[in-house]
Amino acid sequence: MTRSQDWLNDNRGGGDTYDGVEFPTIGSGARGKVMEPAFVAVTQFGERLCINLQTADGPRTWWVKPGPQAQALSKGLADAGAADVETGADMAVAMTGEKDTGKGNPMKLYEVRYKSPAGQAPQSGTEPDLFAGLG
């Protein structure tokens, strides 16, 4: 490692990060077990909540953006009766659609499913296999 990489690793204020979860198309995303407590990282784009998931393809980091991603995470946690992201929880996130904003690129819409390590099932009454094809 370089000295700058060492410094960044010592001072970024969080855990490890891995290849990011990508959302290139509707239905894309990831599912897996939360590996460690979520942490905030400061990026060139501002603060992001980082959630490390152990997926079938290896560890992935979801860099949660403010707006639709944060709203989907909040809803997923609320539907599961959870107050926060917990280590050992099952989580799935997917881009579920797009919304025309009249500004060129459409806004991506997301959905999050969360099951706490205590095993409480989601209370939303929605289809539990929505993310069966992910990760």
Number of domains in the chain: 1
Span 80-99, average pLDDT: 95
pLDDT at residue 123 tops 50: no
Averaged pLDDT of the chain: 83
The phi, psi pair for 8, rounded to 5°, reads -60, -45
pLDDT at residue 118 tops 50: yes
| 126 part of a folded domain | no
To the nearest whole percent, how much of the chain has pLDDT over 70?
A: 76
- Distance CA(2)–CA(88), nearest Å, equals 33
- Distance CA(96)–CA(127), nearest Å, equals 14
pLDDT of the residue at 44:
87
pLDDT at residue 115 tops 60: yes
| 124 part of a folded domain | no
pLDDT tens digits, 11-66: 555 567 789 999 999 999 999 999 999 999 888 888 999 999 999 999 999 999 99
What is the residue range of 33's domain?
Answer: 3-115
| 28 part of a folded domain | yes
| pLDDT level of residue 126 (50, 70, 90 thresholds) | very low
Is 34 or 9 the better-scoring residue by pLDDT? 34
pLDDT of the residue at 18:
87
**Burial of 12 by CB count in 10 Å (0-12 exposed, 13-18 middle, 19+ buried)?**
middle
pLDDT at residue 69 tops 60: yes
Residues near 97 by beta carbon (within 8 Å), at least 6 away in sequence = 26, 108, 109
